[in-house]
Amino acid sequence: MWFSEIHPTRSSSDSTNCWSGFKAELWLLQSLDNGISRRIVSVDGSVAKRRHLQGSKTSFARAFVTSIWQLKVGLHHSSGNVRLLPCIKCENSNKEGSSFEQVSVEPPPYHSYLDSTSGQLEPASGARASIPGQEFWPEGTASRVRAARAPEPMGASTTSPSYGQNPGSRRKKYKASVASSETSETSGVPDIPDDVLEEPKELLSEYVVYQSEPEEENLSDYEMDKKIGRPHPFIDPKAKKPVEEPLTSEELWWNWRKPEKEQWSRWQRRRPDVETVFLKAMAETGQIKLYGDHPTLTETSLYRARRHIYKEERLKAEQERLEKIGPLAYYSEWVKAWKRDTSREAVQKHFEETGEDENTQLIEMFTHQTDQEYRIMMGTDVRIRRDPLAMRMREDQIKEIWGGDPVYPTINYIQDPDAVIDFRGPDFHEPTPDMLAYLKEHGKIISREELEMKLAKEKTEELEMTDMDEAMAQAVDIGENDDEGEESDDGEEEKISRNWSILKSNPELRKSKGKPKNNNLSLEEAIDDSENLTDFLMDFEEDE
């Protein structure tokens, strides 16, 4: 029938909350006063608050009713009053008034305020704070503002720079034209009034180039399509080249090119896998000998194969032993308390006597096993070092394999210890290095012919060097030498022509050198081998 606006007063705050809460609900209330049925329409609602409302519906309803009574229900038929308090508009059910009004945004209660900084009335919107005076500016601001306000220099120069070639070329040298220079053009630095704020900006400054005209762009069809977004091929058809025929795998095989050796990333280096690290550790401890300082692929794979085979062999041997002597005898190694005979015959005999088969006897035996023995048998006794080499490895080597701290293990990013290693590096096309060729090339190995040639050369040299007269003279001195051992020692020392460094480092060799037991020496060889002719002769006599 009529249109009403209810203004909840501040006296009942809970009813105010309720009002804002159940806006989505449509409530039909029988108002007790005046007997007028009213429909309250609220425009928007919130679901979250409705749940709260449903929980306390009954109490709310009671409170609502009572609050309705307590409210002063103001009935306003006039629209256009400015409300200072939030207002809820209630509409009549049949909407015959058709003057539906939205809830509007309130204007701010004030549009200016007294700023305590400036002491003046300032606008409440927009840039509110006035810029304080210069003495309140932070440090350095004044100089920056001053520098920014400095006007640009005026005037155009008639001379051009010489770029360091001709210093002093742009001076005016105080020509005679001074008298005639009534030029009103002042110098580069214009006078600045202190209150100059605005200066006409040149369109072309040093740092900012203003684009005055749009550039005329010349686009091909394809680029235009691409720019506009029309369907276009992914590749510019002009720039597109036909895909070359891919090579067959055969061709690829034969045209394979070794990539460059250079290492441009640390991830390209050979990663330390388990075998490599183990091999290096073994080489360090002297268990094996490596050819180089790093194990080669061959050595690594050899080690892997050997390790596997040895392990298989060990397991097979154990298995054979188990089968051969029977499980009772086999496992009685770890049961010290089992004093009975464990041979197959005894087991068989015991079976015949008591009817306990082998498994039962085994179980019976294991009941006598101690904890310690069980742990030893299962390999879980920490006091027994399972892999001495791994235990002996250095910290960094351990980390290379298992990574980090054993207590707080970290992920080994270098190598997953369980990874299956692909040994085909970039060199996998290369043939396995030939040790023999390498050794030959580096002079570590020579062929028999070469050795003989060398030996023959050395022999001739020795022969050339031995003077017959000198040898005879020394042969004459034999008796004297026998008498005076020290002198002969000195003489020996002087005569050492080969391997002197060995003799120098371990002199005990020198004593035993006197009597080499060489039975089947030829004359030349004996001469060659002996220190001097005296030794040779003495050997000769002894042999005879």
Partner 1 sequence: MLKNSFLLCTGECYLHVPVQQPIFICKKRNRSIKSAAAAAAAVAYNATSSSAAAAASNLEISSASSPSSFPLFQTPSSLQPTPASELEPADPDFYKIGYVRSVRAYGIEFREGPDGFGVYASKDVEPLRRARVIMEIPLELMLTISQKTPWMFFPDIIPVGHPIFDIINSTNPEIDWDLRLACLLLYAFDCKDNFWTLYGDFLPSADECTSLLLATEEDLLELQDHNLASTMREHRQRALEFWEKNWHSAVPLKIKRLARDPERFIWAVSIAQSRCINMQTRIGALVQDLNMLVPYADMLNHSFQPNCFFHWRFKDRMLEVMINAGQRIRRGDEMTVNYMSGWKNNLFMQRYGFSSPVNPWDVIQFSGGARIHLDSFLSVFNISGLPEEYYHNSRLSNNGYNFVDGAVLAAARTLPTWSDGDVPPIPSIERKAAKELQEECQLMLAEYPTTAKEDQQILDSMPEARRTLEAAIKYRLHRKLLIEKVIQALDVYQEQILF
136 binds partner 1 (CB under 8 A): no
201 binds partner 1 (CB under 8 A): no
Among 140, 242, 388, 479, binds partner 1 (CB under 8 A): 140
Among 28, 82, 84, 147, binds partner 1 (CB under 8 A): 147
Contact between residue 543 and residue 526 where contact means Cβ atoms under 8 Å apart = no
Q: For partner 1, which stretch binds (CB under 8 A), given 106-114, 164-172, 366-374, 458-466?
A: 164-172
247 binds partner 1 (CB under 8 A): no
443 binds partner 1 (CB under 8 A): no
Among 32, 103, 124, 192, binds partner 1 (CB under 8 A): 192
162 binds partner 1 (CB under 8 A): yes
Closest to partner 1 by CB, 159 vs 520, is: 159
Closest approach of partner 1 to the CB of residue 189, in Å: 5
Q: For partner 1, which stretch binds (CB under 8 A), given 28-36, 80-88, 135-143, 337-345?
A: 135-143
Which amino acid is it at 193?
Answer: P
139 binds partner 1 (CB under 8 A): yes
Among 55, 74, 123, 161, binds partner 1 (CB under 8 A): 161
Closest to partner 1 by CB, 36 vs 154, is: 154
Closest to partner 1 by CB, 161 vs 404, is: 161
In this structure, is the dihedral angle defined by the CA atoms of residues 300, 302, 306 and 309, taken in order, positive or negative?
Answer: positive
| Residue among 248, 247, 294, 250 nearest 270 (CA) | 294
Q: Which two tokens stand for residue 454?
A: 């060398």
- The size of the chain, in residues, is 544
Beta bridge partners of 451: none
159 binds partner 1 (CB under 8 A): yes
Closest approach of partner 1 to the CB of residue 140, in Å: 6
Under DSSP, is residue 454 helix (H, G, I), strand (E, B) or coil? helix
Contact between residue 435 and residue 291 where contact means Cβ atoms under 8 Å apart = yes
Vertex 112, ends 106 and 117: CA angle to 5°? 135
- Each as own residue / partner, the long-range contacts of residues 14-18 (CB below 8 Å, 24 or more positions apart, any chain) are 14/63, 14/67, 15/63, 15/64, 15/67, 15/70, 15/71, 18/53, 18/60, 18/63, 18/64, 18/67
Among 110, 136, 174, 408, binds partner 1 (CB under 8 A): 174
Closest approach of partner 1 to the CB of residue 150, in Å: 5
189 binds partner 1 (CB under 8 A): yes
Integer Cα distance of 442 and 245 in angstroms: 46
Q: Which two tokens stand for residue 347?
A: 């087991």
Number of residues counted as binding partner 1 (CB under 8 A): 44
Among 110, 163, 234, 413, binds partner 1 (CB under 8 A): 163
Helices marked H in 393-512 — which ranges?
Answer: 395-402, 435-441, 448-465, 468-476, 478-483, 485-495, 500-505, 508-512
Q: Which two tokens stand for residue 368?
A: 């006598």
Among 30, 34, 116, 157, binds partner 1 (CB under 8 A): 157
269 binds partner 1 (CB under 8 A): no
Closest approach of partner 1 to the CB of residue 198, in Å: 11
* Stretch 204-233: interaction string toward partner 1, x if CB under 8 A: -xxx--------------------------
Closest approach of partner 1 to the CB of residue 197, in Å: 10
| Residue among 223, 1, 200, 195 nearest 97 (CA) | 1
Among 185, 422, 508, 541, binds partner 1 (CB under 8 A): 185
Q: For partner 1, which stretch binds (CB under 8 A), given 56-64, 124-132, 168-176, 442-450?
A: 168-176
Integer Cα distance of 368 and 338 in angstroms: 7
Beta strands in 7-128 (DSSP E): 27-30, 37-40, 88-90, 112-114, 121-123
Closest to partner 1 by CB, 161 vs 514, is: 161
Integer Cα distance of 164 and 330 in angstroms: 100
Among 164, 229, 242, 507, binds partner 1 (CB under 8 A): 164
Beta bridge partners of 29: 38
End-to-end alpha carbon distance in the chain: 155
The binding site for partner 1 (CB under 8 A) comprises 139-140, 143, 146-147, 150, 152-159, 161-175, 177-178, 181, 183, 185-192, 205-207
